[in-house]
């Protein structure tokens, strides 16, 4: 498709991270325009644009804003930059290349919801990106984009950049708020939802980095313009993080609805080393595996869901014929085990048990009943855990058992990983 | 307060219809019709957290199983707690909980009263499919001199950490580490300082938090359980005496929402060794300077003779831990038989002993908008469970002002004039300041000002009500000029005998310096007590008596609530204290014929009408609330 | 070892920055770790005092997050990701190579005290540049044995603290008090 990128259109511009350069590309024009509008108009505009959250759940952004109870202040905007989903590295890219675009989006969202103090929660591992945002905030403050009486329009806004310290769970919005309040990043019961009772018990909106990056463009070009891009249920573009066995891994911003095949074969340059595609995984570590037969599925929330997976946070992990699917699942399960906050029983104990079982497959000690045992443990976690982390820990492994059960059986019958053995035999 | 008509909601649980107020949890709605949903983390005193996931049930129209402990009912809701899905899941979650649980039930103090054990039998899988090493943690970690923590048994239900945050507010226990490595503990495993640690052991649904004093003492099915009242202070917390083979194993809480709200303090809970009888003891009388063992009749006869000589010059001190029934007879013995006005139960001079206005009940603290704690921590130390009530109210918006006992002006300045109900809490020793503060505040604030005085001992209130005072009779009646001398005046008052009745070592007759000089000069000291003490050395007669654990009776707490204690331990060789009083009185010519404690209780209620509150479960009130 | 005066001041400033001083716990732990290399019990106690919070709360938070260190480590911190996207592009081989070159096991510190390394299953957000590692929290991507050699060489001779502080910390704006 021939649509030009929106968020990344100027990313080739040198020193785009600097305020002056960003302004030359039209930066902060969206915020200025927004300040000319009434906050309610902005909320309506974003609702009309059909923008859906880019953090994973795909909830309509304007609706999320609209849930804030009338007349309750203060209210907070928190930008979720805790990107930690294995396979995802788009927020990092968006921040690194154009921190002001992120900030501008935050300012627009803050103004729209009537927030005077916004937060960016950035994961602890993103140190260079923390620095980039710190610098951008300083520059913007000096330029009068944030502070008291911004641009003389009578609006006060400040932004606090808050660096996490290593906990995947903090990407879950209620855990993020708990963490931002200084506690252990454990998710909270919903309801109450953050829109009603969020940060410090006040109405709060949590928006992902990529989500807010869309806002300046929507404000400048209008809801109709945005709604014309993408698919009816997936307006606009998404930045896809491609990794794994492709020739050109990296971030690619594509119009929603683009076939997966185009992403992998054209943009990613196809499967590397002239090998064959075995499987791919959209969305990130949490999401179910898809097969070559799904290559013509569109990059779109609903289309991917229909195919049996989820678009999640926009990852695309490509696996060629040499991939041990059991080992891939093992890594993810160990990841979820490592990142389980420990709050609820099924996730805490279940991921621990699954991790043990996967290690047993890897070590060649698994027994025939272990495949069904894995499925059963998954049954007792999925839909039972406190937050989606536990649920998600079971999706990829269970989908791999569904499509590649024979690989598990081979691990049992050959007392170890058949892929590693063939590599060793080839070397010998 | 405006009456709010609570909206009712009707739902079905397992096909049975139930109507409950809006805002009820599924768990409680089910309980109302006798349907038990298994839980670990849920606790009626704490906000729902839904972490253990034991209580998941099916709710129609909801795709996932829902935590019954955290989901509120809705009209028309259809809940199912025994479907195949739920049963299978319950087996699954118990299997999860047990994969890292040591299953050391045979050596666990919780065995036999352990929700994890019970629910595993009822809902769990027969066997575990888990075949790997369990995660290992420290066992028998001393959290303090009172509590041991077994980190392997812990199922991370968060009850203890939530207690620390929501109930006591000390935030001393916390979750440390993450995921399967999560443990509970104090900062850096430093000794816990909380005054309420014993409650952690009671709310722990497994054997992770146990009392050091109860370690390996008993199995719950071997315990004899007796309802009683805590002997620690005048709060009147309801307890259960758990004893095995006539030996106290522990005191457990016994919920009384009006008094203790189901909690105990450690001072009271762990005071039980004080009430454990060490040996079989017989009465003794001093002959030729030496104490000789004698039978009760002999000791009583000796006492009668000696008291006859002292007559009106005999003084009587009864402990503020005695039962009301003992106090009734003790007063009659002195006032009516010996014709002596010199009666007291106090240890120091207390300015007066007018009936308190009794306008503030313990539970009413939750309905105040400002509470002045006159004396600060001293008041809390005198009745530690008060803090839990204050903190509970504080979480609901109560302003608590802690000031020194002498800081009346500061207290007045600190209370906002728009308060509608202000409470003053003080110890009885600071009553004058409390009364002064009350009248000053009454002029300042819009609403009412009430006070609650912490009395001394589990029955200091009863002792005052029943006239164990030198200047007042039962019901604070005037003695019409017949007032005697109070304890602090006894040395040098020319007295000829002292009868000390001390039923609790926690509230004993500890001689002051002046008394230490005076006691050896007395021709007669009758020491009628539960436990040996240094006073034994000066006594002419030692009469063994019962501890509160060994007798029936009633005690009156600080707010005037009369509560029953019951005999939980046998000490048959000890003559009941009231019988001793009766026999002495009869030896002196009285014709008492009480046959049981109940006779005395009945007489008390008949002769002192406010004590009829006992039979109605109400507080004894001496004047209308102001 | 008590925290330096400047760190203590920084922590107090942080407390004033947020609508709730408790929010300053993580930034305060970072400040302590930047100064002392890891988070000591004493530092946690001090943070608790500066923030007016019970120390158990500080430990509860500190121990939850994987980036707070509880023991002294080498001058440089090397973390290599072995999650699936990195595994697909040869992370295991890079781990084996790194281990061989450094001569210490996963989690260990080289004899010269220069490098503490460990593998991690926690994605570090550079799957597009896999295999990758973070050196003092900065990205090193598209690893090859040659690149690893060069990095090790550099680290052995650079004195920088292993837990780099963000460059040019901005002036701390004070948070506005919430307006009700």
pLDDT digits (tens, 9 = 90+) for B8-60: 999 999 999 999 999 999 999 999 999 999 999 999 999 999 999 999 999 99
Architecture, CATH, for domain B132-275 = 2-Layer Sandwich (3.30)
Which residues make Cβ contacts (< 8 Å) with residue A244, sequence separation at least 6?
A280, A316, A317, A318, A319, A320, C85, C88, C89, C127
Query: Which helix H or strand E contains B564, and what residues bound it?
Result: strand B562-565
CA gap B298, B303 in Å, rounded: 8
Query: Where do the H-state alpha helices sit in A143-196?
Result: 173-180
Nearest CA in chain B to C40: B188
Looking at chain A from residue 218 to 257, which residues have their Cβ under 8 Å from any Cβ of chain C?
A: 241-245, 249-251
**C25: how many CB neighbours lie within 10 A of its CB?**
29
**A386: how many CB neighbours lie within 10 A of its CB?**
28
Cβ B386 vs Cβ B364: under 8 Å: no
CATH 3.40.50 fits B362-454, yes or no: yes
Task: Check C89 against A323: CB less than 8 A apart.
Answer: no
Strand order in the sheet with B284-287: B290-293, B284-287, B541-544, B524-529, B497-502, B314-318, B343-344
pLDDT tens, position by position, for chain A (428 residues)? 446 899 999 999 999 999 999 999 999 999 999 999 999 999 999 999 999 999 888 899 999 999 999 999 999 999 999 999 999 999 999 999 999 999 999 999 999 999 999 999 999 999 999 999 999 999 999 999 999 999 999 999 999 999 999 999 999 999 999 999 999 999 999 999 999 999 999 999 999 999 999 999 999 999 999 999 999 989 999 999 999 999 999 999 999 999 999 999 999 999 999 999 999 999 999 999 999 999 999 999 999 999 999 999 999 999 999 999 999 999 999 999 999 999 999 999 999 999 999 999 999 999 999 999 999 999 999 999 999 999 999 999 999 999 999 999 999 999 999 998 776 665 55
Residues from chain C contacting residue A135 (CB–CB below 8 Å)? 168, 170
Task: Check B171 against C58: CB less than 8 A apart.
Answer: no
For the stretch B468-509, pLDDT in tens is 999 999 999 988 888 899 999 999 999 999 999 999 999 999
**Backbone phi, then psi, for B551, in 5-degree steps?**
-145, 165
| Selected residue of B176, B184, B197 to mutate for chain C interface (largest C Cβ count, 10 A) | B176
For the cut 80, the answer to whether the pLDDT of residue C177 exceeds it is: no
Looking at chain C from residue 45 to 64, which residues have their Cβ under 8 Å from any Cβ of chain B?
A: 45, 48, 53-60, 63-64
Residue C40: the pLDDT is 96
**B529: how many CB neighbours lie within 10 A of its CB?**
25
Cβ B450 vs Cβ B421: under 8 Å: yes
For the cut 60, the answer to whether the pLDDT of residue C26 exceeds it is: yes
Looking at chain A from residue 110 to 169, which residues have their Cβ under 8 Å from any Cβ of chain C?
A: 116-117, 123-128, 130-131, 134-135, 137-138, 141, 156, 158, 160, 162-168
Residue A423: the pLDDT is 65
Task: Check A383 against B155: CB less than 8 A apart.
Answer: no
Residue C160: the pLDDT is 65
Distance, CA of C81 to chain centre: 15
Task: Check A380 against B97: CB less than 8 A apart.
Answer: no
Cβ A79 vs Cβ A108: under 8 Å: no
Q: Is C41 on the interface with B (CB under 8 A)?
A: yes
| Selected residue of C85, C120, C121, C126 to mutate for chain A interface (largest A Cβ count, 10 A) | C85
Chains meeting C at 3+ CB pairs closer than 8 A?
A, B
Residue C159: the pLDDT is 78
Query: Which helix H or strand E contains B183, and what residues bound it?
Result: strand B183-185
Query: Mean pLDDT, to the nearest integer, of C107-129?
Result: 95
Q: Is C70 on the interface with B (CB under 8 A)?
A: no
- How many CB pairs (< 8 A) connect A and B? 90
Residues from chain C contacting residue A249 (CB–CB below 8 Å)? 89, 127-130
For the cut 90, the answer to whether the pLDDT of residue B350 exceeds it is: no
Which residues make Cβ contacts (< 8 Å) with residue B16, sequence separation at least 6?
B33, B35
Residues from chain A contacting residue C82 (CB–CB below 8 Å)? 331
CA gap B559, B561 in Å, rounded: 6
Using the CB atoms, write b or e for A99-130: b if 16+ within 10 Å: bbbbbbbbbbbbbbbbbbbbbbbbbbbbbbbb
Of C20, C64, C66, the CB nearest to A181: C20
**The residue count for chain B:** 626
Chains meeting A at 3+ CB pairs closer than 8 A?
B, C
Residue with tokens 């025994």: B82
CB-count burial class (<10 Å; 0-12, 13-18, 19+) for B488 = middle
Of C18, C128, C168, the CB nearest to A242: C128
Residue B359: the pLDDT is 85
Structure tokens at B175: 């979750």
| Selected residue of C48, C57, C60 to mutate for chain B interface (largest B Cβ count, 10 A) | C60
Which CATH number among 3.40.50.880, 1.10.287.4070, 3.40.30.10, 3.20.20.140 corresponds to the domain C76-157? 3.40.30.10
**Backbone phi, then psi, for A384, in 5-degree steps?**
-110, -20
Distance, CA of B52 to chain centre: 31
Residues from chain C contacting residue B189 (CB–CB below 8 Å)? none
**B60: how many CB neighbours lie within 10 A of its CB?**
10
For the cut 60, the answer to whether the pLDDT of residue C32 exceeds it is: yes
For the cut 70, the answer to whether the pLDDT of residue C180 exceeds it is: no
Of A200, A242, A331, the CB nearest to C20: A200
For the stretch B240-262, pLDDT in tens is 999 999 999 999 999 999 999 99
Residue A193: the pLDDT is 96
Arithmetic mean of pLDDT over chain C: 90
Task: Check B174 against C45: CB less than 8 A apart.
Answer: no
Query: Mean pLDDT, to the nearest integer, of B516-537?
Result: 96
Task: Check A89 against C20: CB less than 8 A apart.
Answer: no
Residue A420: the pLDDT is 85
Domain ranges across chain B: 8-82, 132-275, 284-347+459-616, 362-454
Residue C166: the pLDDT is 66
Residues from chain A contacting residue B51 (CB–CB below 8 Å)? 343-345, 386
Rounded to a whole number, what is the largest CA-CA distance in chain A?
74
Query: Where do the H-state alpha helices sit in A17-157?
Result: 19-24, 29-36, 39-49, 61-66, 90-97, 99-113, 127-142
Cβ C51 vs Cβ C21: under 8 Å: yes
For the cut 90, the answer to whether the pLDDT of residue C167 exceeds it is: no
**Backbone phi, then psi, for B79, in 5-degree steps?**
-110, 135
Task: Check B97 against A348: CB less than 8 A apart.
Answer: no
Rounded to the nearest angstrom, the minimum Cα separation between A250 and chain C is 5
CATH of domain B8-82: 3.10.20.740
Rounded to the nearest angstrom, the minimum Cα separation between A333 and chain B is 13
Question: What are the distances in angstroms from CA C49 to CA A192, B199, C15?
Answer: 32, 28, 11
Residue with tokens 């460059």: C167
**Backbone phi, then psi, for B36, in 5-degree steps?**
-90, 130
Query: Where do the H-state alpha helices sit in A86-185?
Result: 90-97, 99-113, 127-142, 173-180
CA gap B368, B360 in Å, rounded: 10
Residue C179: the pLDDT is 36
Domain ranges across chain C: 5-62, 76-157
Query: Mean pLDDT, to the nearest integer, of B416-429?
Result: 94
Task: Check B174 against C44: CB less than 8 A apart.
Answer: no
For the stretch B585-619, pLDDT in tens is 999 999 999 999 999 999 999 999 999 998 887 89
Distance, CA of B466 to chain centre: 22
Residue B126: the pLDDT is 87
Q: Which domains does chain A have, with CATH numbers?
A: 19-228 (3.40.50.11540), 234-320 (3.10.20.600), 325-427 (1.20.1440.230)
> What does the radius of gyration of chain C's CA atoms come to, in whole angstroms?
18
**CATH class for the domain made up of B284-347+459-616:** alpha beta
**Which of C171 and B170 is assigned the larger pLDDT?**
B170
Q: Lowest-pLDDT range, B185-189, B249-253, B352-356, C46-50?
A: B352-356
For the stretch B222-246, pLDDT in tens is 999 999 999 999 999 999 999 999 9
Which residue from B297, B223, B259 is spatially nearest to B452, judged by alpha carbons?
B259
Query: Mean pLDDT, to the nearest integer, of B130-146?
Result: 94
Structure tokens at B506: 């926690």
Arithmetic mean of pLDDT over chain B: 94
Residue B489: the pLDDT is 94
Q: Is B193 on the interface with C (CB under 8 A)?
A: no
Which CATH number among 3.40.50, 1.10.10, 2.60.40, 1.10.3470 corresponds to the domain C5-62? 1.10.10
CA gap B378, B434 in Å, rounded: 14
Share of chain B above pLDDT 70, in %: 97
Nearest CA in chain C to A72: C180
Q: Is C117 on the interface with A (CB under 8 A)?
A: no
CB-count burial class (<10 Å; 0-12, 13-18, 19+) for A424 = exposed
CA gap B504, A197 in Å, rounded: 52
Strand order in the sheet with B448-454: B399-403, B370-374, B421-427, B448-454
DSSP state of A168: G
Task: Check C45 against B187: CB less than 8 A apart.
Answer: yes
Query: Mean pLDDT, to the nearest integer, of B131-143?
Result: 94
For the cut 50, the answer to whether the pLDDT of residue C175 exceeds it is: no
Task: Check A344 against B179: CB less than 8 A apart.
Answer: no
Q: Where are the beta strands (DSSP E) in A116-273?
A: 117-122, 147-150, 155-163, 204-208, 230-231, 234-235, 237-244, 250-255
Say whether B362-454 and B132-275 share the same fold.
no
Chains meeting B at 3+ CB pairs closer than 8 A?
A, C
Q: Is B415 on the interface with C (CB under 8 A)?
A: no
pLDDT band, residue B356 (cuts 50/70/90): confident
Of A117, A184, A317, the CB nearest to C60: A184
Residues from chain A contacting residue C78 (CB–CB below 8 Å)? none
Of C67, C84, C180, the CB nearest to A285: C84
Of C55, C60, C65, the CB nearest to B175: C60
Query: Which helix H or strand E contains A409, and what residues bound it?
Result: helix A388-413
Residues from chain B contacting residue A373 (CB–CB below 8 Å)? 129
């Amino acid at each position: 498709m021939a649509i030009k990128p929106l968020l990344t259109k100027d990313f080739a511009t040198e020193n785009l991270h600097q305020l002056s350069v960003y302004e030359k590309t039209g930066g902060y024009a969206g915020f200025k325009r927004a300040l000319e509008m009434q906050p309610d108009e902005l909320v309506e505009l974003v609702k009309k644009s059909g923008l859906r959250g880019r953090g994973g759940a795909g909830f309509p952004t304007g609706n999320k804003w609209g849930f804030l109870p009338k007349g309750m202040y203060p209210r907070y905007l928190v930008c979720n930059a805790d990107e930690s989903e294995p396979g995802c590295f788009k927020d990092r890219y968006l921040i690194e290349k154009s921190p002001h675009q992120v900030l501008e989006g935050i300012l627009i969202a803050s103004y729209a919801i009537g927030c005077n103090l916004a937060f960016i929660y950035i994961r602890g591992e993103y140190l260079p990106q923390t620095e980039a945002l710190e610098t951008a905030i300083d520059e913007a403050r000096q330029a009068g984009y944030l502070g008291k009486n911004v641009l003389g329009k009578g609006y006060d806004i400040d932004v606090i950049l808050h660096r996490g310290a290593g906990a995947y769970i903090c990407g879950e919005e209620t855990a993020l708020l708990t963490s931002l309040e200084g506690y252990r990043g454990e998710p909270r019961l919903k309801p109450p939802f953050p829109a009603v009772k969020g940060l410090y018990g006040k109405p709060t909106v949590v928006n992902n980095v990529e989500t807010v990056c869309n806002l300046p463009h929507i404000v400048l070009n209008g809801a109709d313009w945005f709604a014309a891009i993408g698919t009816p249920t997936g307006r606009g573009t998404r930045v896809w993080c491609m990794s794994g066995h492709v020739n050109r891994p990296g971030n690619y911003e594509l119009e929603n609805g683009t076939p997966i095949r185009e992403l992998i074969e054209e943009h990613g340059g196809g499967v590397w080393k002239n090998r064959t595609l075995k499987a791919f995984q959209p969305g990130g570590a949490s999401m179910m595996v898809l097969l070559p037969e799904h290559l013509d599925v569109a990059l779109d929330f609903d289309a991917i869901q229909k195919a049996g997976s989820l678009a999640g946070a926009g990852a695309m992990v490509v696996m060629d014929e040499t991939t041990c699917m059991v080992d891939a699942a093992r890594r993810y399960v160990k990841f979820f085990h490592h990142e389980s906050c420990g709050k609820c029983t099924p996730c805490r104990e279940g991921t621990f048990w699954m991790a043990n079982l996967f290690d047993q497959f890897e070590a060649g000690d698994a027994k025939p009943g272990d495949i069904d045992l894995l499925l059963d443990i998954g049954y007792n976690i999925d839909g039972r855990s406190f937050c989606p982390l536990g649920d998600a820990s079971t999706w990829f492994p269970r989908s791999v058992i569904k499509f590649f059960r024979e690989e598990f059986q081979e691990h049992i019958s050959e007392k170890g990983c058949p892929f590693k053995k063939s590599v060793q035999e080839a070397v010998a | 307060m405006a009456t709010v008509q609570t909206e009712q909601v009707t739902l079905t649980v397992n096909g049975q219809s139930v109507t409950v107020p809006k805002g009820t949890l599924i768990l409680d709605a089910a309980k109302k019709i006798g349907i038990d949903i298994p839980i670990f983390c849920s606790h009626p005193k704490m906000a729902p957290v839904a972490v253990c996931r034991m209580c998941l049930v099916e709710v129609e129209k909801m795709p996932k199983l829902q935590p019954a402990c955290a989901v509120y009912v809705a009209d028309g809701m259809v809940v199912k707690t025994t479907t195949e899905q739920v049963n299978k899941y319950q087996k699954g979650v118990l299997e999860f909980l047990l994969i890292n649980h040591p299953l050391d039930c045979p050596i666990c103090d919780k065995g036999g009263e352990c929700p994890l054990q019970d629910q595993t039998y009822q809902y769990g899988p027969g066997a575990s499919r888990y075949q790997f090493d369990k995660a290992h943690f420290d066992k028998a970690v001393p959290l303090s001199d009172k509590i041991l923590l077994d980190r392997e048994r812990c199922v991370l239900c968060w009850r203890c950490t939530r207690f620390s945050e929501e109930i006591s507010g000390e935030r001393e226990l916390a979750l440390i580490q993450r995921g399967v490595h999560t443990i509970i503990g104090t900062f850096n495993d430093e000794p816990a300082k909380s005054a309420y640690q014993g409650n952690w052991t009671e709310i722990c649904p497994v054997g992770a938090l146990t009392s050091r004093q109860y370690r390996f003492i008993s199995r719950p099915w071997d315990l004899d359980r007796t309802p009683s009242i805590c002997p620690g202070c005048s709060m009147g917390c309801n307890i259960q005496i758990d004893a095995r083979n006539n030996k106290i194993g522990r005191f457990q809480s016994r919920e009384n929402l009006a008094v203790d709200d189901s909690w105990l303090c450690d001072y009271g809970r762990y005071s039980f060794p004080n009430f454990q009888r060490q040996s079989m003891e017989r009465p003794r009388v001093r002959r030729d300077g030496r104490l000789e063992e004698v039978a009760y009749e002999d000791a009583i006869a000796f006492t009668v003779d000696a008291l006859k000589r002292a007559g009106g010059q005999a003084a009587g001190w009864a402990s503020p831990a005695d039962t009301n029934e003992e106090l009734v007879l003790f007063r009659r013995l002195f006032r009516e038989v010996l014709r002596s006005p010199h009666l007291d139960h106090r240890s120091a001079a207390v300015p007066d002993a007018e009936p308190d206005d009794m306008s503030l009940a313990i539970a009413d603290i939750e309905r105040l908008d400002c509470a002045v704690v006159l004396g600060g921590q001293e008041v809390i130390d005198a009745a530690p469970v008060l803090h839990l009530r204050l903190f509970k109210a504080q979480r609901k918006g109560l302003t608590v002002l802690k000031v020194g006992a002498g800081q009346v002006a500061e207290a007045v300045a600190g209370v906002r004039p728009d308060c509608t109900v202000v409470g003053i809490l003080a110890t009885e020793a600071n009553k004058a300041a409390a009364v002064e503060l009350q009248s000053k505040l009454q002029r300042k604030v819009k609403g009412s000002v009430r006070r609650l005085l912490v009395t001394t001992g589990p029955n200091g209130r009863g002792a005052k009500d029943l006239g164990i005072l030198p200047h007042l009779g039962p019901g604070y009646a005037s003695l019409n000029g017949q007032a005697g001398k109070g304890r602090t005046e006894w040395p040098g008052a020319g007295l000829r005998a002292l009868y000390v009745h001390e039923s609790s070592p926690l509230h004993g007759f500890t001689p002051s310096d002046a008394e230490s000089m005076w006691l050896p000069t007395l021709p007669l000291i009758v020491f009628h007590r539960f436990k040996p003490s240094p006073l034994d050395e000066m006594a002419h007669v030692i009469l063994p008596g019962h501890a509160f654990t060994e007798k029936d009776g009633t005690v009156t707490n600080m707010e005037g609530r009369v509560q029953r204690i019951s005999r939980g331990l046998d000490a048959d060789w000890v003559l009941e204290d009231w019988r001793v009083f009766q026999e002495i009185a009869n030896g002196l010519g009285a014709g008492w014929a009480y046959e049981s404690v109940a006779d005395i209780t009945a007489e008390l209620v008949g002769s002192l009408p406010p004590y009829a509150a006992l039979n109605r479960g109400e507080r004894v009130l001496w004047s209308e609330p102001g | 070892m008590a925290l330096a005066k400047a760190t203590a001041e920084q922590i107090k400033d942080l407390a004033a920055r947020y609508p709730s001083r408790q929010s300053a716990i993580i930034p305060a732990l970072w400040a302590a770790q930047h100064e002392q290399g890891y988070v000591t019990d004493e530092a946690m106690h001090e943070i608790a005092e500066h923030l007016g919070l019970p120390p158990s709360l500080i430990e509860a938070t500190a121990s939850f997050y994987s980036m707070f260190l509880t023991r002294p480590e080498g001058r440089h911190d090397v973390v290599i990701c072995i999650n699936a996207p990195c595994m697909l592009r040869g992370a295991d081989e890079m781990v084996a190579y790194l281990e061989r070159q450094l001569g210490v096991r996963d989690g260990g510190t080289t004899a010269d005290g220069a490098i503490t390394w460990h593998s991690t299953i926690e994605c570090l957000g550079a799957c597009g540049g896999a295999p990758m590692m973070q050196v003092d929290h900065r990205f090193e991507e598209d690893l090859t044995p040659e690149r690893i050699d060069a990095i090790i060489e550099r680290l052995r001779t650079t004195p920088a603290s292993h837990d780099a502080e963000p460059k040019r910390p901005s002036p701390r704006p004070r948070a506005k008090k919430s307006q009700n």
